[in-house]
Amino acid sequence: MYYEYWEMQKAPFDNVPDPNLYWEENKSLEDAVSEILFAIEEGNDCLAVMVGDIGTGKTLGLRIILNELNPEKYRVAFVTNPNLSTMQLMREIIGQLKNKKINTRYKDQLMEEFNEILFEYSNKGQKVVIFIDEANAMSTSNLHDLRLLTNLQDDQGNLVIFVLAGQKELGKRLESKALENLYQRVGVYCRINGLNGPKAVQEYITYRIKVCGGQPEIFTEDAYTAIWNYSHQGVPRLINKIAKLCLKAGETNQLKKIGANIVHDVASMFEPTKSSLNPIEKNNEPPNNVPAKMNEPVKYG
């Protein structure tokens, strides 16, 4: 495997939400994780929201929060496909909480069943937490129905907290007049951004490499600036994609270091071709410290 060439025990840049590779110095993501965990543990809020561009780490953030919850205190459902009808969504949630398939066909019966579950776990001293990833895919009707589910309380407080994560479109919809009643119930609202400069990109990459057992000096200084430029200024998913392909190219070409020229050659595969650019774009210089082209072609495997 390519990562073994770089003396690592596992792949450092696969785009999977691996909590073991979580880098705590991404301030906006770390703040979101901390605020949502506090909201869950305090129990005073029924709805927490995390929004951000594609690839900024929202799913990873949810996984980190999930891993921090004591299973003796919390019962959890984690929905990854919210593009369902309200009935399907409720069956999915109840099924996860009960750990069995739910065939209930009527909405009022599902509501009653869900209510019973909440009180059952509340009597056991447990709170229900429902994570919904890619919540921007939820219909407006589903979001309205979600408001009804947040009404479920006992004398001590909320019986359930929903944690929604989605793209910025979710935030815009929640802030619209049409969903004002739901927006008023949001207790925590977090916005996730990319990494804030080449230095942060360097720290992020070297952290992941070290966690996987490698030496941190694989990439040169100018390579980090190039990755920052090509990753839409610090989007973690794009950083991972570029860094992974650079390591593969390094293995194939038996390199000792990854410089900006390798980054440029790799990232150019995902950039528009020169023929598709307008005349102004054609005259633009490459990003800082990135050569216009390599002297020799790089092989990728």
3-state secondary structure the chain: CHHHHCCCCCCCCCCCCCHHHCCCCCHHHHHHHHHHHHHHHHCCCCEEEEEECCCCCHHHHHHHHHHHCCCCCEEEEEECCCCCCHHHHHHHHHHHHHCCCCCCCCHHHHHHHHHHHHHHHHHCCCEEEEEECCHHHCCHHHHHHHHHHCCCEECCEECEEEEEEECHHHHHHHCCHHHHHHHCCEEEEEEECCCCCHHHHHHHHHHHHHHCCCCHHHECHHHHHHHHHHCCCCCHHHHHHHHHHHHHHHHHCCCCCECHHHHHHHHHHHCCCHHHCCHHHHCCCCCCCCCCCCCCCCCCC
**pLDDT, position 76:** 97
∠ at Cα 263 (261, 266), nearest 5°? 110
Please identify which residue in the block is written with the tokens 């949810």.
Answer: 62
Amino acid at 228: W
pLDDT tens, N- to C-terminus, the chain (301 residues): 899 999 999 999 998 999 999 999 999 999 999 999 999 998 888 999 999 999 999 999 999 999 999 999 999 999 999 888 889 999 999 999 999 999 888 889 999 999 999 999 999 999 999 999 999 999 988 999 898 888 766 656 788 999 999 999 999 999 999 999 999 999 999 999 999 999 999 999 999 999 999 999 999 999 999 999 999 989 999 999 999 999 999 999 999 999 999 999 999 887 654 333 333 333 334 444 333 333 344 554 5
CATH number of 27-192: 3.40.50.300
Domain with CATH 3.40.50.300 in the chain: 27-192
CATH number of 195-282: 1.10.8.60
CA distance 110 to 49: 25
Domain with CATH 1.10.8.60 in the chain: 195-282
CA distance 273 to 107: 52
**pLDDT, position 275:** 34
**pLDDT, position 190:** 97
CA distance 91 to 31: 32
Q: Is the dihedral of CA 32, 45, 47, 160 positive or negative?
A: positive
